Amino acid sequence: MADAAESGAAAPGENILVAEEVTKVFPGVVANDAVNVEIRRAEIHCLLGENGAGKTTLADILYGVYQPDDGRVLLEGKPLELHSPRDAIEAGIGMVHQHFELVPPMSVIENVVIGTQARQWLDLTEARRRLEEFFADYDVEIDPEAEVGRLSVGEQQWVEIFKTLYFGVEILILDEPTAVLTPQGIEELFRILRRMRDEGLTIILITHKLKEVMDLSDRVTVLRRGKVVGTVDTADVDQRDLARMMVGRDVLMQADKAASEAGEPVLEVDEIHLESDTGRGSLEGLSITVGSGEIVGVAGVSGNGQNALFDAVVGVRHPASGSIRIAGQDTTESAPHRIATLGVASVPADRIAQGLMMDFSVKENLVLGNQRERQFSRAGILNRGQIDAFAAESIDSFEIKTPSASQITRTLSGGNLQKIIMARELSGQPQLIVAHQPTRGLDIAATEYVRRRLIQERDRGAGVLLMSEDLDEIFQLSDRIAVIYDGRIVAVTEPDATTLEQIGMHMAGASDTDQGSQ
């Protein structure tokens, strides 16, 4: 209290940053629609909302990236006109974006100092001293001399955060900072953010994850389709309340799932090596098995070989050594279309590049691929009635938002593109489903639907290889969990036999023998 009084600034609990009727329009979409948010000094305030709700746009306005079309921003009661992030930083507002703005070949110190010192001479000694103090004080183990490009994404994020603090900001905005972290990394981040808050920093954290809001925030403002649904004290609500605010109706929070026994193996990957020649990662002797009627979840920090594993199983790239068998047949060298005919459904993470013909109609994309085209044709003649009926049913059951089945696919949103792929791939009663980030970018309702469908497919007898960076999803859906690290599976376990922490340790590269000593 005394501190705030001394500084003459707003005391804890008073409004420090306020958005008043802020409106921002992009072509075709009102990203922020008369948004009112009051951020109090020294609180952790979450901005919660589904993809596209307008969270990043609002933060970018508070950070001077965009100017509002209407409304205004007040800092300590005074109107604030920001023309650039530089203005924001001068006003004491810093932001760490989802995509970092670091210079990879430069050292940590250089990255921190760049931009703070307008002159040509950089005082690295002073910077090193302050940075080392920060790191020691907050127990963050980063070498100030390390080249940023060699740090993990989690460490790079710390550099971004400390760079902002080095500027001396009073308000720190973080846009979805946990996406690049392991569970331990998230815990460490939250621990430090709480401490920074206790020391007087005001923190605005953007997230679409309810659990993070509950774990961290003092208050939360929920956005839906560009509008503020409400601001509440976190202590007064639970996850269900927040989900209802986010989505606008009641939602099921848990995917119900009965126990299952794995049957015969449908996928046997044995010691495969794959070179990293395409920028999609390498595999270093990876083995994994998926039985019929089971979901095997592959957990891992992105960039540890998930793309390569996906490519190898669906036949886009072939391993240099090792073998892959699908439904008992050797497919190590098989082409994708042959693998598809064995009853393999693939849901790629990069749906635009790999899963869809963007200039085809929605209907055409729904029946794309050999196997499914055969369902709809006899003696080479397509059965249009059947295709139309199938398209109508898919659009209906997956709630694909499109003006019509003949709409050009390119015009649909990301979530709807994913639904087209899911509808198509699951329609052929596959034996094996290879799904990479199947719910990334989907809204809660679509996420629920996709998860339920994967469980239904498993119950029908399909084997599912589920690669996801969402650990809640992995724990909810998997019968077995495999952890991928550095191109290998480093641990296989069952959800009931492990904890989030243990999985996180493996994701960070710890072996079982390390765990006792931690």
Q: Which residues contribute to the site for ligand ADP (CB under 6 A)?
A: 26, 29, 31, 49, 51-57
Q: What is the DSSP letter of 230?
A: E
Partner from Mg ion, ligand ADP, none binding residue 57, C-beta < 5-8 Å depending on class? ligand ADP
Please report, for residues 84, 120, 149, the alpha-carbon distance to residue 116 in angstroms, rounded to integers and kept in the order given.
15, 11, 21
Please report, for residues 17, 218, 249, the alpha-carbon distance to residue 235 in angstroms, rounded to integers and kept in the order given.
22, 7, 21
Q: For the chain, how big is the Rg over CA atoms in Å? A: 25
Reduce the DSSP state of residue 337 to 3 states and report it.
helix
Q: CB of 98: closest distance to Mg ion in angstroms?
A: 7
Cβ distance to ligand ADP smaller for residue 57 or 202 = 57
Partner from ligand ADP, Mg ion, none binding residue 430, C-beta < 5-8 Å depending on class? none
Q: CB of 490: closest distance to Mg ion in angstroms?
A: 32
Q: CB of 52: closest distance to Mg ion in angstroms?
A: 8
Partner from Mg ion, ligand ADP, none binding residue 31, C-beta < 5-8 Å depending on class? ligand ADP
Cβ distance to Mg ion smaller for residue 31 or 169 = 31
Q: CB of 55: closest distance to Mg ion in angstroms?
A: 5
Partner from ligand ADP, Mg ion, none binding residue 26, C-beta < 5-8 Å depending on class? ligand ADP
Question: What phi, psi does 212 have (nearest 5°)?
Answer: -65, -40
Q: CB of 66: closest distance to ligand ADP in angstroms?
A: 8
Q: In angstroms, rounded to a whole number, what is the distance separating the alpha carbons of residues 403 and 416?
A: 12
Q: In angstroms, rounded to a whole number, what is the distance separating the alpha carbons of residues 270 and 506?
A: 20
Cβ distance to ligand ADP smaller for residue 49 or 319 = 49
Cβ distance to ligand ADP smaller for residue 62 or 148 = 62
Comparing every residue's Cβ against Mg ion, the nearest one is 56
Closest by CA position to 300, among listed 514, 518, 517, 505: 505
Cβ distance to Mg ion smaller for residue 288 or 417 = 417
Residues 6 or more apart whose CB falls under 8 angstroms from that of 119 comprise none
What's at 473, amino acid-wise?
E
Q: CB of 94: closest distance to ligand ADP in angstroms?
A: 18
Partner from ligand ADP, Mg ion, none binding residue 29, C-beta < 5-8 Å depending on class? ligand ADP
Cβ distance to ligand ADP smaller for residue 58 or 342 = 58
Cβ distance to ligand ADP smaller for residue 386 or 413 = 413
Partner from ligand ADP, Mg ion, none binding residue 7, C-beta < 5-8 Å depending on class? none
Q: In angstroms, rounded to a whole number, what is the distance separating the alpha carbons of residues 58 and 68?
A: 9
Cβ distance to ligand ADP smaller for residue 35 or 274 = 35
Q: How many residues does the chain have?
A: 518
Q: CB of 67: closest distance to ligand ADP in angstroms?
A: 13
**15: β partners:** 40
66, 60 contact by CB (below 8 A): yes
Q: CB of 32: closest distance to ligand ADP in angstroms?
A: 8
Partner from Mg ion, ligand ADP, none binding residue 365, C-beta < 5-8 Å depending on class? none
Pairing of β 480-485 and β 432-436: unpaired
Residues 6 or more apart whose CB falls under 8 angstroms from that of 74 comprise 15, 17, 18, 20, 80
For residue 102, the Cα-to-chain-centroid distance in whole angstroms is 20
Q: In angstroms, rounded to a whole number, what is the distance separating the alpha carbons of residues 444 and 472?
A: 13
DSSP code per residue over 434-471: EEESTTTT--HHHHHHHHHHHHHHHHHT-EEEEEES-H
Cβ distance to ligand ADP smaller for residue 24 or 363 = 24
Q: Quick one: angle between helices 124-138 and 153-166, nearest 10? A: 120
Cβ distance to ligand ADP smaller for residue 206 or 490 = 206
Write out the residues near Mg ion by the rule CB under 5 A.
56
Partner from ligand ADP, Mg ion, none binding residue 382, C-beta < 5-8 Å depending on class? none
158, 102 contact by CB (below 8 A): no
Please report, for residues 35, 196, 305, the alpha-carbon distance to residue 339 in angstroms, rounded to integers and kept in the order given.
50, 53, 20
Angle CA 211–215–216, to nearest 5: 120
Q: CB of 222: closest distance to ligand ADP in angstroms?
A: 11
Q: CB of 55: closest distance to ligand ADP in angstroms?
A: 3
